[in-house]
Structures are given as C-alpha cells and as structure tokens.
Amino acid sequence: DIQMTQSPSSLSASVGDRVTITCRASQSISSFLNWYQQKPGKAPKLLIYAASSLQSGVPSRFSGSGSGTDFTLTISSLQPEDFATYYCQQSDSTPWTFGQGTKVEIK
Amino acid sequence: EVQLVESGGGLVQPGGSLRLSCAASGFTFSSYWMHWVRQAPGKGLVWVSRINSDGSSTSYADSVKGRFTISRDNAKNTLYLQMNSLRAEDTAVYYCARSERFWSGNYYYYYMDVWGKGTTVTVSS
C-alpha cells in the first residue's frame, strides 16, 4: 500500500497568513493526488484534484503543486472559514490512502 | 441538487451485522463509480471500498476484506455496504462518496467530489 505522510500534523496561523501543508507519498504517484478540507462534524470537501486542479467553487486562494512523491497545498491568505483539518489522498492505486491530516488552528 | 444521503447506522454488538445505504439524487447514479470512506472517532479518513458503475468490479481495504460487501442498485439509485463480523475497531462514521474523473489528455485522474453527511456505526457490547 502507498503511505501518505503529511507535515505538519498541526499548525497555528493568523488570518491573512500564507499557509503551506506538505504531503509525501511512499512511492511515485505522478499527479494522482487530491486534497480535502474537513470541518468538525462535517463531511470532507474536495479542494484540489490531480495535484493542482482547483475544484469548481473553491476559492482561488487555495492552490496545489507537486508531482511524483512530494506535494504541497497552499492557502495564500488564510481566512476565518479556512480553519479546519486538511487531508491529502492518493488515487494512483487501490487501496486509496489518505494522509493523517493537518489541523489548521487559530493563533 | 446533487446529493448523497447515508442511512442504516446504529449500535451493534461485536460479531453482528449491519447494512448501510446511500441514496443518490440529482445526478445519473449509474454513470459513476462510488466509494465508502470511514472515520473513527477523533481519527483520520480511511478508504473502505469502491464499486464500478455497473457493479461488476469491487475493491476493498485489507481491514474489511471478507467481512464487508459493497453493492449497488442502479434502478433504485442506491449504494450499499453490508458489514458482517463487526469488530470494535469498525466503530466510525461511514461516508459514501461519488468518484469523478478528469481526462488530462494522457490519464484519467480520479477523485471523490460529492460526499454524504455520514452515518455512525458503533460496535460495542
């Protein structure tokens, strides 16, 4: 199985900050990488697919990059509604696997 | 409105069975692959299973293989997860999700673009 490792596991940031979350795959997954946002008690929401494609309706302050084994999710200017947990997920091969999550908290 | 609504969760004893349902609306259900994903209390997301559009192909996480069965009824626009021999570690919120795909010109990229709100399964004596 492909292991996905996110860093950091949590971070504290202020509104307006630029935030970067990293995801590393245990083997090359090309660009088969998706990012989701989850708020407490809610279902996950797709943000980015195919490593860098922004899902319809998602604000442009979210962006994704990377290929192979190393990927990043960037929030260019953190907004109050962005405080949540973020997960990367590979769709290169089954079983699909998620990173452990990165919790973005208010500083 | 595109929507997925899960049902069938509840409290079950270890070794028991439960069948989850996921009712789809607002899109052509029979055209999409579908997934189940679960989340144990306070933990991360874990992919459980997927089924192709006509139900002829399925895949499972090792942790549920041989105990869980995914299926679908395209006439009823409904996805199912039959869970047998349940264990305490199966306790989780179970989400169904639609699998969309994007053609880049070289590859199809797959992702889960629509999610239900989840149904809670608790395995305890």
pLDDT in tens, A75-90: 999 999 999 999 999 9
- Residue B64: band (very low, low, confident or very high) from pLDDT cuts 50, 70, 90: very high
pLDDT in tens, A46-71: 999 999 999 999 999 999 999 999 99
Q: Which residues 42-101 of chain A have a CB within 8 Å of chain B? A: 42-46, 49-50, 53, 55, 87, 89, 91, 94-101
CA–CA separation, B39 vs A100, rounded Å? 11
Choose the mutation target among B107, B109, B114, B119 for the interface with A, i.e. most A CBs under 10 Å. Answer: B109
The backbone region for B58, taken as left when phi is positive above 0, alpha when psi lies in -120 to 50, beta otherwise, is beta
